[in-house]
């Protein structure tokens, strides 16, 4: 019998975590909604004809009708500020608080699972969702782009032209870049999730954090702290679309996100391992 | 006095206290649960039963006192004790969108000592043991309260255990289900498993328990074997007569203070104070007509109520 039974049966807590996460209707609803972003974008461009002058609307929008491979990039730029943090906030905010609110947390802990291990597995689950979200968006973007528009070699921001396989590699790297961008937020969500037994509260707070970070990032008075903001490199993947490829912002972003993971991971650890489980 | 690792006791606490703010939900309790016993943990709502269980399982931090579970110190060595302990804490809890079987698989995956190769077999055995084999593939949100309760017990039975801690396991079960759980507990106990079972209803567990502790407002007010607790020093005297006034006079002459309600006289006397035939003789000598006469030891139930109070209000 397939039905995911043998899947769960054979694995560790991490496989079980993925299985529980991806058998929830909510997870699929969020991934489906994410896939609608490139679909709507492509349809809107296709319907409006090719008359959009360069520089209007989101970056790359003017190129979409000439080359379907740009659908994914454009949709990603549209999804980064709100939609992706929203879905990641839902998953990360739910990690511990969701288990606490249903009472399953106490049964996991007396199974017994080590609290630190549970926390780690929950973080990996949120990271897995981030990967699923960015790749769902990119892959849907490619598919709808191929269906609705001509596809050919891609002109990069530096003016160089790269072949289709090269362009697909860049698309893959952008999806990785955005996934990394969401890891810091996942860690913050995990920490907030250890503070409450009300999952919606933790989800909302996590989304608020991402929004506040982006708002602070627009205030020139706070320029000195901008490089430390969670969202500082979120839109920095344009560097991957130049020739030669500039991996500098990828590295800085990874370092920044790693710092957030270290800080909020430790906070979550110290909070969760000493907490009374009363739900 | 037993040491903390006394092998005689499955659960041993010394001065266990758990406070929320300034309120002691569990107040210096000394639990002594002998290995192999079926231990009834009784107390009205809010008396601290669940809080005690959370502390025993290291779900909640202990405010003060010492706890040992199967000889392991809690919370330091809880990881060594838990694989041998199955528990139901404050009712069952599951993922509603997973089937009963998948829920058990999930919890078994969390058990770092569980053998994955025997997982499905053990899950199906546990389901069969509580009579849920037929409903195993149904999603839990479609389970009745009684079915969830059974699934919770099945979860406690995923591994061979030395101790089962069951917090109100018959909650929500019909009389038939309650009987089945009782039989299940008896058969588990006959395999040598120690059973610690909490309830606010004595009648539910009186028939199966070998030992009892009674909680009231966070304190243990009685503890011991059922025989010890059943031997009462007090007898309840009830006399039905149509001459209450003279009856009271007659009883007073042999040192018994009785109260009258309607045509019934009641008194509580120590069991060795006066023999029943003496009471009857004194009453007949004074021509008090006796229509009914009983001199009984109070039932365990009556003693339980007298220890914990009968009021409807939760103590705190
Ligand atoms: N999370 C909490 N915060 C503050 N007080 C609590 C908390 N949980 C329990 N209490 C208090 O601890 C006391 C004991 O509660 P507990 O749940 O242990 O009772 P119980 O004996 O299990 O009752 P019941 O039969 O209703 O299950 C109560 O006075 C309750 O108000
Ligand atoms: Mg309780």
Q: Whose CA is nearest to atom 14 of ligand 1?
A: B48
Is the beta carbon of B91 within 6 A of some atom in ligand 1?
no
Band (pLDDT 50/70/90 cuts) for residue B234 is confident
Q: Which two tokens stand for residue B78?
A: 């809880």
Band (pLDDT 50/70/90 cuts) for residue A61 is confident
The answer to the question of residue B258 being in a domain is yes
Please state, in angstroms and rounded to a whole number, the distance separating the CA atoms of residues B8 and B3. Answer: 10
For residue A54, the model assigns a pLDDT of 62
pLDDT at B315 over 70: no
What burial class does residue A259 get, using C-beta atoms within 10 Å of its C-beta: 0-12 exposed, 13-18 middle, 19+ buried?
middle
Chain B contact present for A223, CB below 8 A:
no
The answer to the question of residue B264 being in a domain is yes
CB atoms under 10 Å from CB of B56, counted, come to 28
Residues B74 and B198 in one domain: yes
- Calculate how close chain A gets to B261, using CA atoms only, in Å: 47
Question: Are A112 and B119 an interchain contact pair (Cβ–Cβ within 8 Å)?
Answer: no
Residues B112 and B244 in one domain: no
**What does the pLDDT average to over B97-112?**
96
Q: Whose CA is nearest to atom 9 of ligand 1?
A: B51
pLDDT at A2 over 80: no
Q: Whose CA is nearest to atom 4 of ligand 1?
A: B20
Question: Are A112 and B90 an interchain contact pair (Cβ–Cβ within 8 Å)?
Answer: no
Structurally, chain B folds into a number of domains equal to: 2
Chain B contact present for A24, CB below 8 A:
yes
The answer to the question of residue B73 being in a domain is yes
Q: Which two tokens stand for residue B136?
A: 């195993």
Residues A242-279 pLDDT 10s? 888 888 899 999 999 999 999 999 999 999 999 999 98
Q: Whose CA is nearest to atom 26 of ligand 1?
A: B45
Residues B172 and B264 in one domain: no
Best of B17, B53, B93, B155 to substitute, by most chain A Cβ atoms within 10 angstroms, is B93
For residue A5, the model assigns a pLDDT of 37
Q: Name the domain boundary from B210, B230, B250.
A: B230
Residues B13 and B47 in one domain: yes
Contacts of A10 in chain B (CB under 8 A): 116
Which of A118-127, A217-226, B287-296 comes out lowest in average pLDDT? B287-296
- ipTM over 0.85? The verdict is yes
Which among B258, B229, B224, B230 has a CA at the least distance from the CA of B244?
Answer: B258
What burial class does residue B249 get, using C-beta atoms within 10 Å of its C-beta: 0-12 exposed, 13-18 middle, 19+ buried?
middle
**For residue B292, what is the domain's CATH number?**
3.30.70.100
Is the beta carbon of B217 within 6 A of some atom in ligand 1?
no
Which among A108, A109, A104, A90 has a CA at the least distance from the CA of A279?
Answer: A104
Band (pLDDT 50/70/90 cuts) for residue B148 is very high
Q: Quote the ligand 2 centre to B44 CA distance (angstroms).
A: 9
For residue A49, the model assigns a pLDDT of 67
Is the beta carbon of B51 within 6 A of some atom in ligand 1?
yes
Q: Whose CA is nearest to atom 18 of ligand 1?
A: B48
Question: Are A111 and B111 an interchain contact pair (Cβ–Cβ within 8 Å)?
Answer: yes
Coil/strand/helix, residue B70: coil
Ligand lying closest to the C-alpha of residue B21: 1
Please state, in angstroms and rounded to a whole number, the distance separating the CA atoms of residues B184 and B127. Answer: 13
For residue A118, the model assigns a pLDDT of 96
Contacts of A117 in chain B (CB under 8 A): 112
For residue A251, the model assigns a pLDDT of 95
A115-148 and A70-79 helices, crossing angle to 10°: 130
**For residue B127, what is the domain's CATH number?**
3.40.50.300
CA distances from B273 to A62, B153, B234, B249, B286 (A): 104, 48, 10, 17, 20
Residues A200-218 pLDDT 10s? 999 999 999 999 999 999 9
Cβ neighbors of B155 (< 8 A, separation 6 or more) are A107, B86, B88, B92, B103, B104, B107, B126
- Calculate how close chain B gets to A24, using CA atoms only, in Å: 7
Q: By the 8 A CB rule, do B265 and B273 touch?
A: no
Residues B155 and B205 in one domain: yes
Residues B180 and B143 in one domain: yes
Q: Which structural domain, as residue segments, surrounds residue B248? A: 234-296
Question: Are B102 and A8 an interchain contact pair (Cβ–Cβ within 8 Å)?
Answer: yes
For residue B204, the model assigns a pLDDT of 80
Mean pLDDT for chain A?
91
Question: Are A24 and B119 an interchain contact pair (Cβ–Cβ within 8 Å)?
Answer: no
Q: Name the domain boundary from B230, B247, B263.
A: B230
Best of A7, A9, A13 to substitute, by most chain B Cβ atoms within 10 angstroms, is A9
Which of A145-149, B166-170, B199-203 comes out lowest in average pLDDT? B199-203
Ligand lying closest to the C-alpha of residue B167: 2
The answer to the question of residue B151 being in a domain is yes
- Taking CA–CA distances from B165, the nearest residue in chain A reads A110
Q: Quote the ligand 1 centre to B213 CA distance (angstroms).
A: 17
Which among A110, A98, A105 has a CA at the least distance from the CA of B166?
Answer: A110
Please state, in angstroms and rounded to a whole number, the distance separating the CA atoms of residues B206 and A66. Answer: 81
Question: Are A113 and B94 an interchain contact pair (Cβ–Cβ within 8 Å)?
Answer: no
- Calculate how close chain A gets to B116, using CA atoms only, in Å: 6
**What does the pLDDT average to over B96-112?**
96
Residues B222 and B258 in one domain: no
Contacts of B106 in chain A (CB under 8 A): 8, 16, 20
Q: Name the domain boundary from B212, B230, B248.
A: B230
Band (pLDDT 50/70/90 cuts) for residue A57 is low
CA distances from B39 to A241, B146, B198, B221, B268 (A): 70, 23, 8, 15, 29
Residues B100 and B149 in one domain: yes
Contacts of A102 in chain B (CB under 8 A): 93-96
């Amino acid at each position: 019998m397939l039905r995911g039974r043998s899947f769960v049966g054979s694995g560790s807590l991490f496989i079980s975590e993925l299985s529980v996460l991806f058998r929830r209707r909510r997870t699929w609803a969020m991934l489906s909604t994410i896939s609608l972003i490139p679909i709507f974008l492509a349809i809107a461009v296709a319907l409006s004809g090719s008359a959009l002058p360069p520089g209007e609307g989101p970056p790359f929008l003017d190129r979409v009708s000439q080359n379907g491979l740009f659908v994914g990039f454009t949709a990603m730029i549209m999804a980064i500020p709100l939609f992706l943090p929203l879905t990641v906030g839902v998953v990360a905010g739910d990690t511990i608080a969701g288990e606490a609110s249903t009472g399953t947390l106490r049964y996991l802990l007396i199974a017994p699972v080590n609290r630190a291990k549970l926390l780690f597995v929950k973080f990996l689950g949120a990271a897995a969702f981030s990967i699923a979200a960015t790749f769902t968006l990119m892959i849907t973007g490619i598919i709808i782009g191929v269906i609705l528009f001509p596809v050919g070699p891609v002109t990069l921001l530096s003016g160089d032209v790269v072949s289709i396989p090269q362009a697909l590699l860049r698309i893959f790297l952008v999806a990785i870049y955005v996934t990394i961008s969401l890891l810091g937020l996942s860690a913050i969500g995990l920490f907030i999730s250890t503070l409450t037994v009300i999952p919606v509260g933790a989800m909302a707070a996590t989304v608020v954090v991402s929004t506040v970070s982006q708002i602070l990032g627009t205030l020139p008075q706070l320029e000195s702290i901008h490089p430390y903001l969670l969202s500082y490199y979120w839109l920095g993947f344009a560097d991957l679309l130049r020739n030669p490829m500039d991996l500098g912002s990828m590295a800085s972003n990874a370092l920044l996100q790693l710092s957030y993971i270290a800080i909020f991971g430790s906070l979550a650890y110290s909070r969760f391992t000493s907490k009374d489980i009363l739900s | 006095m037993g040491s903390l690792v006394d092998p005689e006791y499955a659960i041993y606490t010394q001065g266990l206290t758990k406070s929320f703010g300034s309120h002691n939900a569990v107040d210096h309790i000394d639990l002594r649960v002998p290995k192999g016993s079926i231990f009834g943990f009784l107390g009205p709502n809010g008396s601290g039963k669940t809080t005690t269980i959370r502390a025993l399982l290291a779900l909640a931090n202990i405010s003060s006192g010492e706890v040992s579970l199967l000889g392991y110190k809690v919370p330091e060595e809880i990881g060594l004790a838990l694989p041998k302990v199955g528990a139901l804490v404050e009712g069952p809890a599951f993922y509603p969108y997973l089937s009963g079987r998948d829920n058990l698989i999930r919890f078994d995956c969390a058990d770092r000592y569980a053998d994955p190769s025997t997982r499905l077999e053990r899950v199906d055995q546990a389901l069969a043991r509580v009579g849920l084999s037929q409903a195993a593939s149904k999603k839990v949100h479609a389970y009745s309260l009684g079915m969830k309760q059974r699934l919770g017990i099945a979860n406690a039975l995923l591994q061979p255990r030395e101790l089962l801690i069951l917090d109100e396991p018959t909650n929500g079960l019909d009389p038939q289900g309650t009987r089945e759980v009782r039989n299940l507990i008896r058969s588990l106990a006959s395999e040598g498993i120690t059973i610690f079972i909490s309830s606010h209803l004595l009648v539910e567990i009186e028939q199966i328990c070998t030992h009892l502790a009674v909680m009231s407002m966070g304190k243990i007010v009685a503890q011991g074997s059922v025989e010890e607790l059943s031997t009462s020093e007090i007898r309840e005297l009830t006399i039905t007569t149509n001459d209450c006034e003279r009856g009271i006079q007659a009883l007073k002459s042999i040192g018994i203070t009785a109260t009258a309600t309607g045509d019934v006289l009641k008194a509580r006397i120590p069991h060795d104070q006066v023999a029943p035939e003496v009471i009857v003789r004194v009453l007949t000598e004074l021509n008090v007509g006796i229509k009914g006469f009983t001199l009984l030891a109070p039932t365990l139930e009556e003693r339980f109520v007298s220890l914990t109070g009968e009021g409807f209000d939760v103590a705190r």
